[in-house]
């Protein structure tokens, strides 16, 4: 199995595949990721997404079909989830800047001003012209809650199209497996589940999967401390402040990585118990939720495949 390590999207990316021309395919995959980052980034002033944001309140912007598709998916879920997922949250994210050196606690007036700019109904999409128009000046789309899952799914399809039957796409907290793991007789991939702490690699356990996506999102990833109070990066679109509940991290096991991205975001609005009860009713989706007290809650379907350390 050949592996390639890439530093992109603010994280370390690891791509591993079994294939006679693995090195060539891994190099091509690296270029695919570079292209996605250059076009989809909300932090790159010259990206296609930022062109959409810069033209907010001015004019519609024609975009590539894949960027249009992801914005359309994001808008649909933003509306159907009652803002639990909200791709127009960009102005709020950039106000708090949690995870960046300029992070600070905003004033209530600043938050109120940004709340007026994060309504997904203000995204106008024209499918025939493939244009995106943000109707209010100051609006910004941020695809951070979806993009890595979308990229991982595209990479898996690329690898499979090229004949890869065994591999691993790890975009940092977002793992997508292809086929069986040749290192183990049972064929399962062991995907670690991060303990809600700042120590990367400090695991609470592992989940055994084949041809599945494992996405984990946690409040430990980026935080800000002001006067002894911690503020994490998972923001509530209705209040403008970080979500307050007992959830420290959410792991979703699904067929497609974009579903993992969507559900890890949506479940932060639930209590741990309600999150598990809800996902237990959704076919093809399994979940593991860790509380701030390090209690682990799992859906029934995944329990036999989780090993806690």
Instruction: In whole angstroms, give the CA distance from residue 45 to residue 155.
Output: 25
Through-space distance between the first and last CA atoms of the chain, rounded to whole angstroms:
27
Q: Can you give the pTM of this predicted structure?
A: 0.94
> pLDDT value at position 109?
98
- Portion of the chain with pLDDT greater than 90, in percent: 86
Structural domains of the chain, ranges and CATH numbers in brackets: 48-134 (1.10.3980.10), 188-308 (3.10.520.10)
Q: What does the pLDDT look like over 151-190, one tens digit per residue?
A: 999 999 999 999 999 999 999 889 999 999 999 999 999 9
Band the pLDDT of 196: cuts 50, 70, 90. Answer: confident
Band the pLDDT of 220: cuts 50, 70, 90. Answer: confident
Q: What does the pLDDT look like over 69-110, one tens digit per residue?
A: 999 999 999 999 999 999 999 999 999 999 888 999 999 999
> pLDDT value at position 48?
97
> pLDDT value at position 202?
86
> pLDDT value at position 305?
97
Instruction: In whole angstroms, give the CA distance from residue 224 to residue 227.
Output: 10
Spatial contact of 213 and 175, defined as CB atoms under 8 Å apart: yes
Please list, in sequence order, all residues whose beta carbon lies within 8 angstroms of the beta carbon of residue 29, skipping any fewer than 6 positions away: 4, 15, 155, 158, 159
Residue 232 dihedral angles phi and psi, to the nearest 5°: -95, 175
> pLDDT value at position 197?
74
Average pLDDT, the chain: 95
> pLDDT value at position 43?
85
Which range has the worst mean pLDDT, 130-144, 186-200, 208-222? 186-200
Spatial contact of 74 and 85, defined as CB atoms under 8 Å apart: yes
> pLDDT value at position 173?
81
- Structure-block tokens of residue 228: 């002894």
> pLDDT value at position 219?
87
Band the pLDDT of 1: cuts 50, 70, 90. Answer: very high
Q: What does the pLDDT look like over 111-132, one tens digit per residue?
A: 999 999 999 999 999 999 999 9
Q: What does the pLDDT look like over 15-73, one tens digit per residue?
A: 999 999 999 999 999 999 999 999 999 988 999 999 999 999 999 999 999 999 999 99
Residue 145 pLDDT > 70: yes
Beta bridge partners of 95: none
Burial of 159 (0-12, 13-18, 19+ CB in 10 A): buried
Band the pLDDT of 198: cuts 50, 70, 90. Answer: low
Helices 257-266, 147-161: axis angle to 10 degrees equals 160
Q: What does the pLDDT look like over 239-270, one tens digit per residue?
A: 999 999 999 999 999 999 999 999 999 999 99
Cβ-defined contacts of 158-163 (< 8 Å, 24+): 158/28, 158/29, 158/32, 159/17, 159/19, 159/25, 159/29, 162/19, 162/21, 162/25, 163/19
Residue 9 pLDDT > 90: no
């Amino acid at each position: 199995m050949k592996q390639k390590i890439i530093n992109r999207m603010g994280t370390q990316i690891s791509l591993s595949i079994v294939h006679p021309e693995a090195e060539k395919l891994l190099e091509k995959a690296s270029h695919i990721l570079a292209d996605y980052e250059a076009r989809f980034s909300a932090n790159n002033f010259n990206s296609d997404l930022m062109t959409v944001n810069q033209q907010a309140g001015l004019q519609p912007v024609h975009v590539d079909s894949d960027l249009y598709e992801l914005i359309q998916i994001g808008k649909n879920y933003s509306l159907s989830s009652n803002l639990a997922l909200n791709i127009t949250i960009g102005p709020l994210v950039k106000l708090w800047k949690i995870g960046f050196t300029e992070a600070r606690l905003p004033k209530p007036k600043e938050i109120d001003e940004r709340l007026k700019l994060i309504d997904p109904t203000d995204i106008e999409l024209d499918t025939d012209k493939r244009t995106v128009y943000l109707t209010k000046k100051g609006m910004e789309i941020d695809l951070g809650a979806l993009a890595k899952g979308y990229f991982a799914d595209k990479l898996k399809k690329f690898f499979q199209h090229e004949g890869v039957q065994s591999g691993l796409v790890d975009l940092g907290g977002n793992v997508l497996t292809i086929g069986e793991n040749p290192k183990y007789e049972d064929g399962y991939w062991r995907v670690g589940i991060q303990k809600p702490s700042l120590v990367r690699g400090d695991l609470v356990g592992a989940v055994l999967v084949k041809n599945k996506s494992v996405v984990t999102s946690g409040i430990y990833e980026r935080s800000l401390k002001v006067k002894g109070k911690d503020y994490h990066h998972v923001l509530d679109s209705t209040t403008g402040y970080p979500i307050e509940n007992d959830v420290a991290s959410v792991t979703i096991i699904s067929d497609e990585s974009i579903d993992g991205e969507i559900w890890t975001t949506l479940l932060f609005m639930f209590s741990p118990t309600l999150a598990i009860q809800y996902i237990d009713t959704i076919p093809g989706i399994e979940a593991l939720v860790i509380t701030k007290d390090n209690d682990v809650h799992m859906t029934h379907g995944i329990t036999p495949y989780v090993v806690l350390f």
